[in-house]
Amino acid sequence: MPYKILQYSDQKYCLQCGSRILYGRPDKKFCCVKCKDLFHNNEQKVVREMRNKLTTILSRNYQILSVLLKAGRTTIHVADIQAMGYNINCVSWCYCESSRTSDFACYDILYSKSGLKIYNIRRAPNPPGRPVVKSDKTKAPDEPVPDVQILK
Ligand SMILES: [Zn+2]
């Protein structure tokens, strides 16, 4: 793409520092390489922080559900599990069967939620949300099909 001196009507400003971009490609977004690197590093930092925060919340949720299962509990009120530190808004998978009942998973631990009650807390040997494996049509029909999960 050819470089050109930007006209007054083409005024563009650096996405990092806000300085006016005086020359370069028409789609130029930064005044210099330093600003470009800073912008992308900050963008990656935000993504990394968000991912770390979600991982921390999911790990805490998983730990709480594991403790409940170990204690033989399969039912708990939402307020009680929240008091333990569970973040009800952070799950690894969910399925809304109806407006009143939904199924959720935190990795391999599943539970159902209805109103203010969490019930049927259980471990799933094949947790939902795993990548779906399509059957291989080149295999003989009597050969066992690999573990296939159908997501509705
Ligand atoms: Zn700049």
Q: Does residue 145 form part of some domain?
A: no
What's the CA-to-centroid distance between 45 and ligand 1, angstroms? 18
Q: 111: closest CA among 101, 121, 126, 98?
A: 121
Q: What is the pTM of this model?
A: 0.65
Q: Does residue 140 form part of some domain?
A: no
| pLDDT > 70? residue 139 | no
Reduced to 3 states, what is the DSSP secondary structure of residue 94?
A: strand
What's the CA-to-centroid distance between 29 and ligand 1, angstroms? 9
What's the CA-to-centroid distance between 20 and ligand 1, angstroms? 8
Q: Which residue type occupies 100?
A: R
How far is residue 34's CA from residue 32's CA, in Å, rounded to a whole number?
5
What's the CA-to-centroid distance between 15 and ligand 1, angstroms? 7
What's the CA-to-centroid distance between 134 and ligand 1, angstroms? 48
| pLDDT > 60? residue 106 | yes
What's the CA-to-centroid distance between 4 and ligand 1, angstroms? 18
Q: Quick one: 51 and 109 in the same domain?
A: yes
Q: Does residue 38 form part of some domain?
A: no
| pLDDT > 80? residue 85 | yes
Q: Does residue 114 form part of some domain?
A: yes
Percent of the chain with pLDDT over 70: 74
Q: Quick one: 18 and 51 in the same domain?
A: no
Q: Quick one: 57 and 12 in the same domain?
A: no
Q: Quick one: 27 and 50 in the same domain?
A: no
pLDDT range class, residue 14, cuts 50, 70, 90: very high
Number of domains in the chain: 2
Q: Does residue 146 form part of some domain?
A: no
Q: Quick one: 52 and 115 in the same domain?
A: yes
How far is residue 23's CA from residue 53's CA, in Å, rounded to a whole number?
40
Q: Does residue 130 form part of some domain?
A: no
Q: Quick one: 98 and 74 in the same domain?
A: yes
- Domain with 16 in it: 4-31
Q: Does residue 129 form part of some domain?
A: no
- Are 94 and 58 in contact by the 8 Å Cβ rule? The answer is no
